[in-house]
Amino acid sequence: MTTERPGAAAALTRVSVRTRLTAAVAVLTGLAFTAAGVLVYALESSHIESEVREQIEQEIAEFTELQAGNDPATAKPFTSVEALIELYLERNVPDDDELLLGYWDGEARRTSVTRHPELIEDPGFLDVIGRRIRSGGSERIDREYGEVVVTVAPVSNSETDGALVIANFLADEHEELDRVMQTYAVVSALLLGLITGAAAWQAGRLLSPLRTLRDTAREISETDLSRRIPETGNDDITALTRTVNEMLSRLEQAFIGQRRFLDDAGHELKTPLTIVRGHMEVLDVDDPSDVESTRTLMIGEIDRMSRLVNDLIMLAKADRPDFIRFHPVNLAPFLDTVLEKCRALGAREWVIDDSTEFLALLDEQRVTQALLQLAQNAVRHTSEGDVIALGSRVTPQHGIELWVRDSGSGVDDVEKESIFDRFTRGEATRDDEGFGLGLSIVSAIAGTHGGTVSVDDAPGGGAIFTLTLPVHRKDDTWPAS
């Protein structure tokens, strides 16, 4: 039996975000410092190589110019290799990292001061001179003190061969650059430490709300959603904190509503179940009339429970994204169609207050359902022959307004705020067979359209229920006309 070891990815997830952010900043900063140092070193090294070449070319040019002139001692062209080279060496002072050497008669005869005098007797160095004494040119040799560029400028007459030898010590040329890079490395290391410390502090400060969020989430239970995260600052973390607080508020309201919903639903179902159970317990199976009356009563109670379940299912579906399907609907003929359906609800005087020709974007079936529910509610609060009116209009301030007005008893002011809550019934409907879910369904339909439903006193008495819907939803691009 083998045990799998956790991989690097699993191990990384056990490291805190603060540590990972700090490590990322440290690594990126270190890479940036290193890349900058390497780039600077490469560019400066190339510059040094270029300067060495220019220095060699300058020495050769000066030596060639002197060779083409006259000997100051005779005022005639040079005839002595020794005199030419010695004069050149007298007139030129080499750099600290350069060696000038006069070579004739097969030996190094005269040399400038140098930090590496052992080079003069180095066999490899002398071998380069021997090979280049007639052809000239440059070669590189490696020694324990670094790379050396050996350049031979030949000169000869009928009596002897000689050369001006220029040796450039590249390691010496790089000494100053190396010191600068060492200083750069020390400064970079110090800065890296400071930046890493600052990154750790800043990451801790920025992640502090997240730690508070974590602690708050641990303290939140299904019975206490009142905790909130303190909001400080005005950055992205604060925006996240604010969003989480808003989410907690919605969750709290949802849990409160769910708890109240379940309590009310249980209460509403308890009554018909109690009635059915009570009649079943006292049922006389030998009495046909008792059986028939009990059967009729049980069917009625079952129908009530069925209506309640259907209403609950409708409200549950309102939270689904496919609850509504938007289509262009012309309000004027749409309202005429709804009015014709309303006539079957009761013998009332059905009229249209106002109608607007406007192509709206809405779910025709759901809005029809909402208006019919409002119309049914109006029928319950009116008598035969009373007026019930429908209307529609579109205004720049409110958008689309659809309403149902009745001439009934109206709605008390204290009930106007709660009448759309689930299982809430007005005083005038306490004794009917409703469950107080009809107006909740209307409110849910309005909410899924991005709108609202409200109730006000109608002119002349009664109530007017108004659906207010936006002309455009935030997530649509369909133009209304």
| One domain, residues 371 and 275 | no
Choose one of 158, 177, 196: the last residue of a domain: 177
Q: What's the 3-state SS for 174-211?
A: CHHHHHHHHHHHHHHHHHHHHHHHHHHHHHHHHHHHHH
Tokens for 168, please give them: 């450039």
5 within a domain of the structure (yes/no): no
Query: What's 109's domain CATH number?
Result: 3.30.450
| One domain, residues 380 and 250 | no
98 within a domain of the structure (yes/no): yes
Q: How many folded domains does the chain comprise?
A: 3
Query: 247 is in which domain, residue-wise?
Result: 236-317
Q: Which helix (H) or strand (E) holds 392?
A: strand 387-395
Where does residue 375 fall: left (phi above 0), alpha (psi -120 to 50 degrees), or beta otherwise?
Answer: alpha
- What is the number of other CB atoms lying within 10 angstroms of the CB of residue 131? 12
As a whole number of angstroms, the distance between CA 418 and CA 409 comes to 17
Amino acid letter, 57: E
| One domain, residues 165 and 32 | yes
In order along the chain (481 residues), what is the average pLDDT of each group of 10 residues?
A: 53 75 92 93 89 87 85 80 85 84 85 86 88 87 88 80 88 85 93 92 81 75 70 76 81 73 68 76 81 82 74 68 83 91 88 90 89 89 89 89 88 76 58 63 86 87 89 52 39
| One domain, residues 388 and 281 | no
Quote the pLDDT of residue 474. Answer: 43
63 within a domain of the structure (yes/no): yes
480 burial class (0-12, 13-18, 19+ CB within 10 angstroms)? middle
Amino acid letter, 223: T
| One domain, residues 348 and 448 | yes
221 within a domain of the structure (yes/no): no
The shares of helix, strand and coil residues in the chain, as percent rounded to the nearest 5, are 55, 20, 30
As a whole number of angstroms, the distance between CA 333 and CA 194 comes to 74
CA distances from 66 to 70, 217, 350, 386 (A): 8, 90, 123, 128
As a whole number of angstroms, the distance between CA 335 and CA 341 comes to 10
Quote the pLDDT of residue 271. Answer: 65
| One domain, residues 172 and 254 | no
Query: What's 331's domain CATH number?
Result: 3.30.565.10
Write out the E strands in 13-133. 70-71, 76-77, 98-104, 107-111
Choose one of 288, 317, 346: the last residue of a domain: 317
Quote the pLDDT of residue 377. Answer: 87
46 within a domain of the structure (yes/no): yes
DSSP letter assigned to residue 115: S
| One domain, residues 294 and 339 | no
| One domain, residues 99 and 245 | no
Tokens for 290, please give them: 């008792």
417 within a domain of the structure (yes/no): yes
- What is the number of other CB atoms lying within 10 angstroms of the CB of residue 144? 7
Choose one of 287, 317, 347: the last residue of a domain: 317
Quote the pLDDT of residue 6. Answer: 54
Give the side-chain half-sphere CA count within 13 A for 106: 1
275 within a domain of the structure (yes/no): yes
Quote the pLDDT of residue 475. Answer: 47
Query: What's 303's domain CATH number?
Result: 1.10.287.130
Strand partners, 267: none
368 burial class (0-12, 13-18, 19+ CB within 10 angstroms)? middle
Quote the pLDDT of residue 29. Answer: 93
DSSP-derived 3-state class of residue 4: coil
- What is the number of other CB atoms lying within 10 angstroms of the CB of residue 389? 21
Q: Which helix (H) or strand (E) holds 465?
A: strand 463-469
| One domain, residues 127 and 247 | no
279 within a domain of the structure (yes/no): yes
CB 25 within 8 A of CB 196: yes
Say whether pTM exceeds 0.85.
no
| One domain, residues 102 and 160 | yes
DSSP assignment of 417-450 equals TTTTSTT---GGGTTSS--S-HHHHHHHHHHHTT
| One domain, residues 301 and 334 | no
| One domain, residues 285 and 404 | no
